[in-house]
Amino acid sequence: MSLVFDLLAVVGGYLVALAFREEEWLEAAGQPLILLALPIFLMFEIGREVQSVEALESRSLGTTRALAALAGTALVIVGLTFFLKIQELSRIGFTLSFVVAAAFIILGKLALDWVFRRLMGGTATSELMILDGLEVEPQPGMDLIDLRTRGLSADLSDPHALSQISSLLAPYDRVVVACQFDRRPVWATILRGHDVGGEILLDRDLLVGAVAVGRCGNEDTLILSRGPINLINRIQKRAFDVAISLGLLILLSPLLLLVALALKLEGSGPVLFKQTRVGLGNRLFSILKFRSMREESTDEEGRRSASRDDDRITPVGRFIRRTSIDELPQLINVLRGDMSIVGPRPHALGSLAGDHLFWEATDGYWLRHALKPGITGLAQVRGFRGATPSKDDVRRRVRADLEYLTNWSLWGDVLILLKTFRVVVHENAF
């Protein structure tokens, strides 16, 4: 809302200027002034963090940053007209456009502040305190959940319990956990695998990977996570996901229909195969794939990895697995918001590395779910796919996933997607 109000203010200033000056006097290099101003203004808004939490909580700070972004836009355009020797731009129209835009920005911030105070109670972040064996009074404005009253226990060997706990944490920006000393390593792992700000009430004898020390009322806390990417980056990543998945679904729709028809003609059974997998924040979701095995042989928990001569795979299934076509229905998962185009690959609950479940193979396993799972990922383009006969196979994938989380960038996602086309047909895809 803050960004929309500011952009509308700039458009409003331009429209008011049009009422006093003809359109040709509000052009630069043959382009309407508004087409130059909006992208530059948007760049300054993002750079000045006009839509940050602190700017929302402080009307004066938000207004000051927005006006600074507008002033920066005006200076850039003035510089362009000077260096390009543009004469047709009206000084009166230019000045009127930006002065009126400034007035609209101030009015917009007043309206936004009213909405913030009335509808959000003047609180920009939602906070939760979780009690796990300790009795602590939460601060005013914090929600409180006692795991014991809900019959829940934080257990890294129980994906279903982790999924339920994750669903409790998901709506919040900040989560503070009050737990016994010996429970803190478990909670450190859980919180660092979520896209929230996670803290544990401080015990100075055990730092468990804290990134900072914070406060919750009169208590000290260990800040264990701030989320791998900020709001602006999440918006960019989601926009990228929607654009790519929607475009591919439209482009590949003839192929999808052809594969669906081939699977139907091959025998009975559903075209799509659904399987429960671990997703964002260790929450469980149903992944979609083209069914590549005989219906009576499908493995709901994924305990048996597909092998090169697997007798469960149908002839059509073998082709679509070899070419990774069986993964294409996951574009629907991306549109739903369960998955991303690029991210750590989601695993089935029964996936085994030798005789061990995946999360038993490495302590960092649950940390990889701080971002949405992806159709492709850094591990996949490095060739880490297929069967996992040993713990090292999983550890290599997890290391790549954690590297991806640490170094995420939109350009990195683009590069991984481009590299994926080189490994669509892979010797380990069977």
Q: What is the pLDDT of residues 97-150, one digit of tens each?
A: 889 999 999 999 999 999 988 888 788 888 899 999 888 887 887 899 999 888
Predicted TM-score of the model (pTM): 0.65
Q: Which residues contact 261 (CB under 8 A, 6 or more apart)?
A: none
Q: What is the DSSP letter of 152?
A: -
**Taking the C-alpha atoms of 343, 344, 346 and 352 in order, what is their torsion angle to the nearest 10 degrees?**
160
Q: What whole-number distance in Å separates Cα of residue 348 and Cα of residue 328?
A: 17
Domain ranges of the chain: 2-119, 127-225, 231-420
Give tens-digit pLDDT for 238-252: 999 999 999 999 999
For 204, phi and psi rounded to 5 degrees? -70, -5
Tokens matching residue 111:
């309206």
Binning pLDDT at 50, 70 and 90, where does residue 206 land?
very low
Give tens-digit pLDDT for 141-197: 789 999 988 889 898 888 999 999 999 998 898 899 998 888 888 998 899 888 888
Mean pLDDT over 359-384 rounds to: 89
Q: What is the DSSP letter of 333?
A: H
- Report the percentage of the chain scoring pLDDT > 90: 34
Q: What whole-number distance in Å separates Cα of residue 98 and Cα of residue 44?
A: 15
More confident residue, 52 or 7: 7
Binning pLDDT at 50, 70 and 90, where does residue 300 land?
low
Categorise residue 331: left if φ over 0, alpha if ψ from -120 to 50, beta otherwise: alpha
Q: Which residues contact 345 (CB under 8 A, 6 or more apart)?
A: 373, 374, 376, 377, 379, 380, 385, 397, 401
pLDDT tops 80 at residue 27: no
Binning pLDDT at 50, 70 and 90, where does residue 313 land?
confident
Give pLDDT, residue 428. Answer: 54
Give tens-digit pLDDT for 79-92: 877 776 666 667 77
How many other CB atoms are there within 10 angstroms of residue 406's CB atom? 8
Give pLDDT, residue 430. Answer: 47
Average pLDDT of the chain to the nearest whole number: 85
pLDDT tops 70 at residue 310: no
pLDDT tops 80 at residue 337: yes
Mean pLDDT over 37-43 rounds to: 89
Task: Report yes or no: 210 and 217 within 8 Å, Cβ to Cβ.
Answer: no
| In the block, residue with structure tokens 């009213």 | 114
pLDDT tops 60 at residue 348: yes
